[in-house]
Structures are given as structure tokens and as C-alpha cells.
Amino acid sequence: MVTVDKLIEISSYLTLIHHIKGRIRVRVNPKIKEQSNKITLEDIEDIPNRIEGIKKIKINKIVGSITIEYDNGIFPDNLWIDLINQKNLEEIVEILNKLSKEVN
């Protein structure tokens, strides 16, 4: 299950490659593998099922990047930048809690 805390932890391993409204591509620090008991590929791939406004996630294991397609009207682009930069986390957690889907 993906939690807001886990999403914030995942984001600490990300650096921005490219960003346009509705699509962001980030590089994943290889040190995330050290967290493999806490963070799995399935956790990351499951995010669209858990967070409203995130449409699709594509993981490129070869180059170590993640492309996220999102609805800018639901999840504004400035929040992505703040999340990656670990800024305004309390605000982001509040927004993510509102956007979290109930999935059984």
C-alpha cells in the first residue's frame, strides 16, 4: 500500500529531468535500492490507483527514470517541484490526503 509518508520518502530519491504541465520525468537515485524492503516497484507503479490526479507512471529501469502523467487541474505542477525539493511538505501531505483514493 502506498502511503503519503512513503510517497514523500520516494520523492527524496528523485531529481527533476524534465517537466511540462501534465508530465514530469525524474531521475531516481540508485540508493533507493537500499530501501528495497520499504519501497518496491509495485508501490511506485500502484500510485495511480491510490492518488487521484495521477494518470500513469512509467518506470525505465535501464536509465533509472520515472515519467509521471498527471492531471494538472487536480494536482498542480508547482506541488511536484515542491515535493521533489522537499518543500511545503505539510501542505503537500494535506493535499495528498484529500486526493487519496479508497482502494481495497
Domain boundaries, the chain: 4-91
Please give the model's pTM, rounded to 2 decimal places.
0.80
Mean model confidence pLDDT for the chain: 84
Domain 4-91 of CATH type 3.90.1150.10: no
At a CB cut-off of 8 Å and minimum separation 6, what does 37 contact?
none
6-18 pLDDT, tens per residue?
Answer: 767 878 889 999 9
How confident is the model at residue 56, as a pLDDT? 92
How confident is the model at residue 62, as a pLDDT? 92
61-92 pLDDT, tens per residue?
Answer: 899 999 999 999 988 889 899 989 888 888 88
Separation CA 75–CA 88 (nearest Å):
15
Asked whether the beta carbons of 14 and 66 are under 8 A apart, the reply is yes
pLDDT band at 100 (very low <50, low <70, confident <90, very high): confident
From 72, 62, 63, 64, select the one nearest 24 (Cα to Cα): 72
